[in-house]
Structure 1
């Protein structure tokens, strides 16, 4: 069995105990430490070792993390896989597909489809989604196949080194063609079963960057970047500015041009947790959003 993590002891670590390197330089999360202790193991130069053993320069510390199969029901689904290797999977989610099961959508979710993919490949792994998309939103979602990759990418997400950008078709035109929306978001007081959010002084800090790409007859195509990741953040911020996303019934109004909110996760940048090389994933604008822009161009002619 291949170890999940292999680290070489550095000269300044000569004489340290294995656990001092694990807790120090490697900065493993509590979750990874539990997986190492409960069902995993640590080896030194290919032989089982206790974490209190002392090491020499050049020694190889090999760490195995326990993993378990997902408890989600596998369901066949056609997945548009846009990137994959031994550690990661990136999928272009179609619109109107929930990401994971909820009370309203107990099945037919992207997570159920990935569970089926794991089953077909004989993989006994949990499904570790790095981020979420609303049901109606299309675009890229990143999944970690193993615990260490997930741990590293969560750190990038929290430190904002993992960058997520979206394309949206919004109502009207923005006065400033690029800018920052820095407005706190909290629960709405309206009777909506706790789903709706609003800009409120009592909310949590929320920051979004925007840039107008092109203006049309009555809409604009904008690129958006999440700095924070509050529920419905981009939708709330754009509605607060008076330019809701086209087709967003919760924060704007329904549209005859599209049967969903015109929001698409098109860009993902991060450092690969294993190779430490930059990874860029780009997903072109989907057909239903292109149709809006084509229709708008015809109106301008």
Structure 2
């Protein structure tokens, strides 16, 4: 049972097992990764009944677990831009991305990206976390962009993208498509001196 959280940095969970190891409970109930669990234990950011504990602790029914995610310094410059937010909770934001805008800064385009806009949104709403992009879209592509507000949200959404989420794209093409279905299986690579992907025998499938 997950109790409503006070902010983006605190997670409270009430134990409903008679007896279970702390690590087993968090990995079973929350799907917490072993890597994140070790990090939180090392930082002493897992508490049971307000006391920081190690990974060998045995939980009992009605114990209250609190997980704290440390505040983080922003990585990218915050810039005020309009964001079309279609969903938001304490762990993630879903943004409707318009075409013709970069998702994240590059060497040649370090400002005026969606990541800069999200950094400004985080700063304005006291979300003291890095911008964690769960998925990315090309500059010319529109679609839904998922951004996590903490490491747990990022790990859970990444797992769903890998196992449960199917991506579909709608494209406008020139000419007549003869077949209703088909497969394009050609090697592609980045164009020399450019950013476009092209078909080339030196590329990857």
With the shorter chain as reference, the TM-score category is 0.7 to 0.9
* Aligned equivalents of 1:31, 1:77: Cα separation in 2: 35
Q: Which runs of 5+ in 2 are unaligned?
A: 1-5
1:165 lines up with 2:142 in the alignment:
no
Q: Following TM superposition, by how much is the alpha carbon of 1:34 offset from its aligned partner in structure 2, in angstroms?
A: 4.9
Q: Do 2:134 and 2:146's aligned partners in 1 also have CA atoms closer than 8 Å?
A: yes
Count of residues in Structure 1 that have an aligned counterpart in Structure 2: 198
Q: 2:103 aligns with which of 96, 99, 106?
A: 99
Bigger relative CO (Cα 8 Å, ≥ 6 apart): 2
Q: Following TM superposition, by how much is the alpha carbon of 1:21 offset from its aligned partner in structure 2, in angstroms?
A: 3.5
Secondary structure of the corresponding residue to residue 161 of structure 2? helix
Q: What's the TM-score once normalised by structure 2's chain length?
A: 0.80
* 1:44 equivalent in structure 2: 48
1:203 lines up with 2:194 in the alignment:
no
* 1:175 equivalent in structure 2: 178
Q: CA RMSD in A?
A: 2.8
Deviation track 1:7-48 (CA, whole Å, cap 9, x = no partner) reads: 52534xx2x432343456654335523541354511223433
How has the CA–CA distance of structure 1 residues 76 and 134 changed in structure 2, closer, same or farther, with 3 Å as cutoff? same
Q: Following TM superposition, by how much is the alpha carbon of 1:193 offset from its aligned partner in structure 2, in angstroms?
A: 4.6
How has the CA–CA distance of structure 1 residues 29 and 184 changed in structure 2, closer, same or farther, with 3 Å as cutoff? farther
How has the CA–CA distance of structure 1 residues 24 and 180 changed in structure 2, closer, same or farther, with 3 Å as cutoff? farther
Deviates further, 25-34 or 133-142:
25-34
1:8 lines up with 2:12 in the alignment:
no
Q: Which has the higher strand share?
A: 1
Q: Do 2:97 and 2:145's aligned partners in 1 also have CA atoms closer than 8 Å?
A: yes
Within 5 Å, which residues of 2 pair with 1:21-60? 21-22=25-26, 26-39=30-43, 41-60=45-64
**Bigger CA radius of gyration:** 1
